[in-house]
Amino acid sequence: MAEETLTLVFGFNTLEVAVALHRIDAILSASKVGKNGFMVDGSPVRDLTEALARLEKKGRTTFNIAGQGYEFDLGRVKNNGVDFFLIDHKGEHDFLWDDWATPFLGDRFFVMAWLADSEYEFWQNAKDLLQYRSRNRPFDHLPKKSNGLPYPLEQTIIDTSRNPGRRVIRQGFHEVVGAVMWLGEPFWRLTGADREAVEHADWLQITYSTANVVRIQAAEECFTSQEGSSKNLQERLRSLLFPGIVAA
């Protein structure tokens, strides 16, 4: 059973809770997925209407909702000027992720989105040694560094800075690559990427989800390896999409 995550990025404080929940509800209805069996921040609700009422009553601007094989997370990072919306799904490999992405792509403040294998992305970005110890996963062979904090907070962490699947939150966007990505109008200004060069890259499948959103596909399935040709493809894609960052 595959577990994949679609992450969508927007400008800070632009994706409203009600808007996100209404879109979730609509897509679940179209997919004929039941509306019960969901938890909001760990507490059960009868349906997503009750979830919205509960969140609005508390004045919430973020949420975590899980159920029916899905998990939805809406978060905000003020210091980096981004909202992010994660949709995690456990199920068949041929899941129609475009159906989930499309309702969000027309938003004026939509920046980017990417699809990832959940397990691969997690371990490509896991830095805390406790994450490895708690799962009995070896880490002696991995590069390490100090977290840079003063004593007594200083500790050794895994150095993920060279991992091809690394994810870094930048100002207004995420530096990350996925086998499938959607790039909104703000993406080009924020990253300095050359849109024409991306659109003419003959090793990518280019389509247009909307007039202003470029959909790129670099591989048929999500990246799951940091070795060999997969590593080379991820690094090539990162160089194309984040040229200034790579050069630095």
pLDDT of residue 247: 40
What span, in angstroms and rounded, lies between the C-alpha atoms of 239 and 184? 18
Q: Which amino acid is at 50?
A: E
In a domain, 134, yes or no: no
For the stretch 15-60, pLDDT in tens is 999 999 999 999 998 888 877 889 998 899 988 889 999 999 999 9
pLDDT of residue 143: 94
What span, in angstroms and rounded, lies between the C-alpha atoms of 248 and 235? 15
For the stretch 84-142, pLDDT in tens is 999 999 876 667 899 999 999 999 999 999 999 999 999 999 999 999 999 999 999 99
For the stretch 199-214, pLDDT in tens is 999 999 999 988 899 9
Domain count, the chain: 1
Exposed, middle or buried, 244 (CB in 10 Å: 0-12/13-18/19+)? exposed
* Lowest pLDDT segment from 23-37, 68-82, 225-239: 23-37
In a domain, 139, yes or no: no
In a domain, 136, yes or no: no
In a domain, 241, yes or no: yes
**Average model confidence (pLDDT) for the chain?**
93
Residue 167: CB partners within 8 Å, gap ≥ 6?
121, 124, 125, 174, 175, 176
Residue 75: CB partners within 8 Å, gap ≥ 6?
62, 83, 84, 85, 86
Tokens of 69: 């094989």
**Which residue segment(s) compose the domain that 234 sits in?**
2-125+160-247
Helices (H) and strands (E) in the chain, counts: 9, 14
* pLDDT tops 60 at residue 246: no
